Amino acid sequence: MTPATRLQWARVVGSPDIPAARAAAVLPLTPGVYRFRDQAGRILYIGLAVSLRRRVQSYGRDLGDRVHLAPMVARIARVEAVPCDSAHEAAWLERNLLERRLPPWNRSPGGQEAEVWIRLSTSPRAPGLTAVRQPAPGDFGPYLGGQKVRDAVSGLNRVLPLGHAADHLAGTGRELALARGVAPGARAGLARDIAAVLHRDQAAVAALRTELTARRDAAATALAFELAAKLQAELEAVDWITAEQKVTGGQRDIPDADVYGWAGGVLVCFEIRAGRMSGWRQRPCPAATARSYLERSPPGWTAFALRSAELAARLRSPRAELAARLRPGPPGTCAG
């Protein structure tokens, strides 16, 4: 850090009223995407967070290995954020926004994680699961993170060994199938159970997690720590691919639309194009004007858009946020 940057950073962190610090008190502890604007309203930076509040708070403290961001922090005039239902959803939203437009303080469009799909085959000769980079009709996904997807596939194969249910196995393949207690007649049931997990059926996901957790704990008890660590990675990966995620999908799954939410005099709009939520705008708007926009918004997005609008209104009005904290709110609000 140069002497000038050190001086600039000292002035920033020495101020108790920097925008990032004020906004952090309003933000929820949930995953989401945040962005910083300067005094002229220009977007400086877009980022994702596992916890919006903690992440934005970090810009008001020692930046550590992010000292190159000190000049940007000094220019922050406003903080905006979208709360998401999972870290996976936040990662997708950040990627989509950055691919559409790269702010000056972001280094790479779309992040580093690869887009991956999971292919489920019920072929009598070669049933099983594979992670693929190029999708075909019927594949599950997309998901972000090749390693996470491979770990999830490993966990699914461990508990639901569809690959051992092929017809006419011979040699080692037949011995492994016998050891796992799997026969070709189990193929349809195993495929059905796997599909249920990939469709995020809560009971199916819970059953898979219960079995992986039991095997992890048994491995740890037996001091097989490497296996226990592998099983833990598989558990986390299953959580990743089965978490709520609706901002990216196939074009048939998510039709093009403009999604609106309004609260406290702020209208928020999300643009969905080609199966991806890739636009995010917000502006002051009276209730009477907002009504026509809300009426044309797809109903399936109401909760997502309203939650974002409520947070946008609180970020623009600290007094309203204080009142919201003192007044019990209805379930589902995003008060931090």
Residue 142, SS3? strand
pLDDT at residue number 316: 85
Cis peptide before 142 (omega within 30 of 0): yes
**334 confidence band (pLDDT: 50, 70, 90):** very low
Phi, psi of 328 (to 5 degrees): -60, 130
Residue 165: closest CA among 194, 192, 187, 190: 187
Task: Report the alpha-carbon distance of residue 63 to residue 70 in Å, rounded.
Answer: 8
Q: Are 33 and 95 in contact (CB under 8 A)?
A: no
CA 264 to chain CA centroid, nearest Å: 26
Task: Report the alpha-carbon distance of residue 241 to residue 248 in Å, rounded.
Answer: 13
Q: Burial code of 265-285, b = ≥16 C-beta within 10 A, e = fewer?
A: bbbbbbbbeebbbbbbebeeb
Could you report the per-residue pLDDT of 73-132, keeping only the tens digit for each?
A: 889 999 999 999 999 999 999 999 999 999 999 988 776 788 999 999 999 999 999 999
Residue 273: closest CA among 71, 92, 96: 96
Q: Are 164 and 176 in contact (CB under 8 A)?
A: yes
Mean pLDDT value across residues 291-308:
94
Q: Is the pLDDT of residue 326 over 50?
A: no
CA 117 to chain CA centroid, nearest Å: 16
pTM recorded for the entire structure: 0.84
Mean pLDDT value across residues 61-73:
75
Task: Report the alpha-carbon distance of residue 100 to residue 35 in Å, rounded.
Answer: 14
Q: Are 159 and 208 in contact (CB under 8 A)?
A: yes
Domain-wise residue ranges, the chain: 1-85, 115-242, 248-336
Residue with the larger pLDDT of the pair 172 and 140: 140
**277 confidence band (pLDDT: 50, 70, 90):** very high
Q: Is the pLDDT of residue 141 over 60?
A: yes
Beta strands in the chain (DSSP E): 32-37, 43-49, 78-83, 115-121, 128-132, 140-144, 257-263, 266-273, 276-284
Could you report the per-residue pLDDT of 167-207, keeping only the tens digit for each?
A: 877 777 777 767 787 788 889 999 999 999 999 999 999 99
**2 confidence band (pLDDT: 50, 70, 90):** low
Nearby residues of 11 by Cβ (< 8 Å), 6 or more positions away: 74
pLDDT at residue number 16: 47
Give the CA angle between residues 177, 181, 186 to the nearest 5°: 85
Task: Report the alpha-carbon distance of residue 124 to residue 168 in Å, rounded.
Answer: 9
**331 confidence band (pLDDT: 50, 70, 90):** very low
Q: pLDDT over 90 for what percent of the chain?
A: 67
The CATH fold of domain 1-85: GIY-YIG endonuclease (3.40.1440)
Could you report the per-residue pLDDT of 228-251, keeping only the tens digit for each?
A: 999 999 999 999 999 999 999 876
Task: Report the alpha-carbon distance of residue 304 to residue 82 in Å, rounded.
Answer: 9
* Direct distance between the N- and C-terminal alpha carbons of the chain, in angstroms, rounded to an integer: 34
CA 93 to chain CA centroid, nearest Å: 7
pLDDT at residue number 35: 95
**64 confidence band (pLDDT: 50, 70, 90):** low
Could you report the per-residue pLDDT of 255-264, keeping only the tens digit for each?
A: 899 999 999 9
Residue type, 275: G
Phi, psi of 134 (to 5 degrees): -115, 120
Task: Report the alpha-carbon distance of residue 94 to residue 248 in Å, rounded.
Answer: 11
Phi, psi of 267 (to 5 degrees): -100, 125
